[in-house]
Homo-oligomer: A and B are copies of this chain.
Amino acid sequence: MENHKPFLVLLFFAFAIGFIAVVFVLRWVLHFREGLAWDGGAKEFNWHPLLTVTGFIFLQGIAIVVYRLPWTWKCSKLMMKFIHAGLHVLAFILAVIALVAVFDFHNVQNIPNMYSLHSWVGLTAVILFSLQIVLGLCIFLLPVSPDYLRSAFLPIHVFSGLFIFTTVIAAALMGITEKLIFSLNDPKYKDSPAEATFVNVLGLLIILFGSLILWIATRPSWKRPSEQLLHALHSNQPASVGATTDTAIGERPDPEPTSEARRRTGKSEE
């Protein structure tokens, strides 16, 4: 990997910011708000921001960059695909529980569902996320899917993943805005009580975490090296272009060789 040290520094920074955001949302619901319970009241609603930030943002962010962690390059690509998919499925489950919490709260409190832009964007993100997981599993893990389909779908899969991640963050920022306006009465949001400032900072932390994950995920030189290169490095043999190194179920040669692999193997981009 090129620029190993800056990568690790940024990765640590991203994880730290994401972890602090989770601590902030926990302190918000436990200290400033009513706490947590499953009672149809405000305590049940509080699972919604907590699970969104923890699962749908922090966990999804980790799932996006998991291929890029250098200490996972010893693992087979197939195992990394399972970890990538598993973390996304876990994030999806937490997102669905977060949705159930807010629908249940609304129904008990006689508040209409799905009227706000926040709810439209949030539900669309959950639906797209489920579609992304199903298509990802079918195309990249089912052994019957052909290589040309994987190669053609990969750029769409990568863009969709980053787009959904960004959309979830935008939905969370709208949710924070709604909640602070609705729940702060005396003093109001515009009077900047401690809770308002604290949760605004939570919003900034979420944006900073998102930007770091997007930066890490879009640096070509920080991609996981191709299977050919990893095989050659482990066996101390020169990598043969086009060679496959793993014939396990669902495993295919990397349809997008990295710049590093291309340079070391002498293969041009096309």
Contact = CB atoms under 8 A, between A and B. Distances in A.
A142 interface: no
B189 A115 contact: yes
A117 interface: yes
Interface in A166-210: 166-167, 169-170, 173-174, 176-178, 180-182, 189-192, 196, 199-200, 203-204, 207
A163 B215 CA distance: 9
B262 A159 contact: no
**A118, A159, A173, A211 — most chain B CB neighbours (10 Å):** A173
Given A117-B199, A192-B112, A203-B121, A159 B270 contact: no
A229 to B, nearest CB: 14
A120 interface: yes
B170 A117 contact: no
Contacts of A189: 115-116
A184 to B, nearest CB: 10
A167 B207 contact: yes
A120 B203 contact: yes
A133 interface: no
A117 B214 contact: no
Interface in A136-159: 155, 159
Contacts of A226: none
A178 B180 CA distance: 10
A117 B200 contact: yes
Contacts of A115: 189-192, 196
A13 to B, nearest CB: 16
Nearest to A260: B270
A216 to B, nearest CB: 11
Contact of A174 (B111, B173, B269): B173
A218 interface: yes
27 contacts: A112-B191, A115-B191, A115-B196, A116-B177, A116-B189, A117-B180, A117-B199, A117-B200, A120-B200, A120-B203, A121-B173, A121-B203, A121-B204, A121-B207, A159-B215, A170-B170, A170-B173, A173-B174, A177-B178, A178-B181, A181-B181, A181-B182, A218-B218, A259-B270, A262-B268, A263-B270, A268-B268
Given A117-B180, A117-B203, A170-B173, 18 more contacts: A112-B190, A112-B191, A116-B200, A117-B199, A120-B203, A121-B203, A155-B219, A159-B214, A163-B214, A167-B207, A173-B173, A173-B174, A177-B177, A259-B270, A262-B269, A263-B269, A263-B270, A268-B269
Q: Which 3 pairs between the two chains have the least Cβ-Cβ distance? A: A268-B268, A117-B203, A170-B170
